[in-house]
Structure 1
Amino acid sequence: MEFERERLFEEVWSMPMTTLAKKYGISDNGLRKICIALAIPLPQRGHWARVAAGKSVPSPQLKPHTGANQYTFYRAESAPVKSPNDDHWLAERLAFEEDPANKIVVADELLNPDKIVVGASKVLRELLALIGRSKKYEDARFEREKLPWTGVHHEYFGDNSWSNYLSRGGIIELPHDALPTRVSIESVDRALRLWDAIIKAAKNRGIKVNLVERRLRLTIREESVDLRMSEQVKPVVGKGALFPDCAFPPEDHKKKLATGALRIFICHMGEQKFEDKEGVVLEDQINILFRAIYKSIWSGRLRTLARIEDQRVKQLEDEAANQRKLEAAAREAVIADNKRRIDDLIVEADNWHRANRVRAYVSYLKDESSKIDISQDMQRWLQWAEEVVEILDPSRSRLK
């Protein structure tokens, strides 16, 4: 949008700034900045009130200035603002989850599980088998060490899976490429059934579900939240009584022990926790979990739109600043060219005066030589001098 200085001056003094700003579709503060950039005087406070009261208020004259006489205002054709349907989208989904008819039910048995749950179940079985083998090796080693020394060395082929399992308080942690789950052996089946209900409900609601490193990611409207599940542990003090099946029970100090209470975390700009509570188990909170997921998606969308808008405004400001630099450079180039032409004119005028002085001198010599006899050399010199005068006189080439 182009603003011409004289025309804008006339408009500024013909109507209030707020009215004129609405005409151009910009803020009155933005219009004020344009007027300042073009050195346009603005009406004082109360000017239009005095005009409305019928008082005669003189308008100032637009004084000449050395700056720009035009201002280019850049405005985006379509700004990515928050859609009016965003709030409606959230309200619809919250109402859907609050409707008892849409209650998410966690099955008592894991029937026809989702493929993600199938993969996690397979990994869990492998981990349980590994822990079982490790415990078997530990027990065998313990039994051998109770026997008298026979001089025969028995090589130990076990690993640390069982001891690691005990040190975590009886918690199994799935690897990073499976469902993000840390639960005890007793809670494995329940955890898988909870995951299966969540994943199926998400897909039925049009939410994209996929695994990322140590997270289950739910994506909708190009926004994502991550979920993870863990079992709450509590610190205890004990030895063999805590782990009666352990060949080498932990020493007497604080240890962690699984409690059976499960927790699900929504990871998005921090974490929200949903857990088993007295009288309310996680199975009865899945719809509440989805309501929180939708709110996180909605708030994330608003942050994304705000970030896009900030980037858009910054880009426009940068483009406008660059354009102003180009315009300023062009004005400076015009000023520099004009100064050079003036300097050239002064030099040209000086050369003209010098040529006229030489011409007058040569003319004087010719007049004087006509009164006396002069040599041929003098005649040739006078002829040469007249030619030099024509060369020195810049007006000859200027008038061609």
Structure 2
Amino acid sequence: MVAEIPFSRAVLYEEVWADPLSAVSKRYGLSDNGLRKICIKLGVPFPPVGYWAKLRSGQKVTRTPLPQHDGPTIVQAQPDLYTRRVAESEIQATHRGVIESDEARPERHIAPVADGEWRHRLIKGIAKRLNSIDQQIEVESRPRKSEAGRPKFDRVAFKVTKPGGLLDMGPAYAAIVVTPATRPRALSIADAFFVALEARGFKITLRDDCTVISCKDVVMQFRMSEMAEKSDKGVGYDGWHALGRLRITLRQHGYDRFGPPDMRARDEADGSLEEQLNELAGRLRRAVFGYEKRELARKADSEWAPREEALRQQKAWHEQMASEAAHREKVAIEAVFAEADLSEALDRRRHYLDRLEGVARERGIDVSGQSSVGLWLAWARAACDSRDPRFARVDSFTSSAVRSGSV
């Protein structure tokens, strides 16, 4: 178990204003949100959105002074939940350090441009379609009078509109789902990110109804969306409103137990999405590392898979045989019980016939074999014997013994 880390209010304040919160959190093995909670508990302010971008561009920025605080000045935190579950090898740590250093170089900085001169073909395609759809939605969203005199709207407007006014162009275009107001920024970020990744050896394609980023065995689904939340007012889509904050989600495309985990980046109070693009690119590059080792593991896994499947089928066969045997045993036992119940019921009927014969004798009625009563009693007793399973069961044993030659 990792020991608790003491966080001093004054020291933490200097750290979060010297480096982005995401960098400081990794220094301590915490998540961004975990360190943010510690800052709130200590009353430590952190830089607002856009602070680091302005600082890099040379603009004048001001640091929020450390306010008075009546709460604790030191907080103990245990980063067990945030540390890596598997310790890095020396090679992995070295490789990670090389990539992080490379991504930190000024010439490698992924800087979106907002001039509308898109460089990537997928961004050019979706930008062109969005420009045409704007006019289409505007026209088709205007209420018109139907034959019944009520306003009606064309289906197309609702086909592409998501809660909060987000537009989704579908699988034929890059997975960028944002409002028109946020579109220029979203397209500029995606354009710069795609171009930068392709320069780093990745491919950006549309595959299986989604946008895919791939390199060797790393295949991730890309989606950029604007965050929206539901308010207490309004019904349906009207109850949602967009927040203007963007996020990128990268999920493994298809199941691969050797594949990388999901990756996410989003606008935060202490750092914009633009400031996290290089970090996200670095995580993708680190995911590619160890490709040869994973291929060997997949090969071994594929060689073991047929044997594992044969064992599974063998186990399933034995379980099925055992289940069928248990079922046959159950059916046989139930048949014995049913035979016993029927035989007992027939004995009660025979007893009834004996009592009936006794009453007839007491009354002086002829019950001999030639009398009408005697003939009926003989018929009734024969009917009981014909239905009594005892005789059929004994006959079956006798027939089996004769066939086996034991009799």
Normalising by the smaller structure, the TM-score range is 0.3 to 0.5
Q: TM-score, normalized by length of structure 2?
A: 0.45
Computing the radius of gyration from Cα coordinates, the structure with the larger value is 1
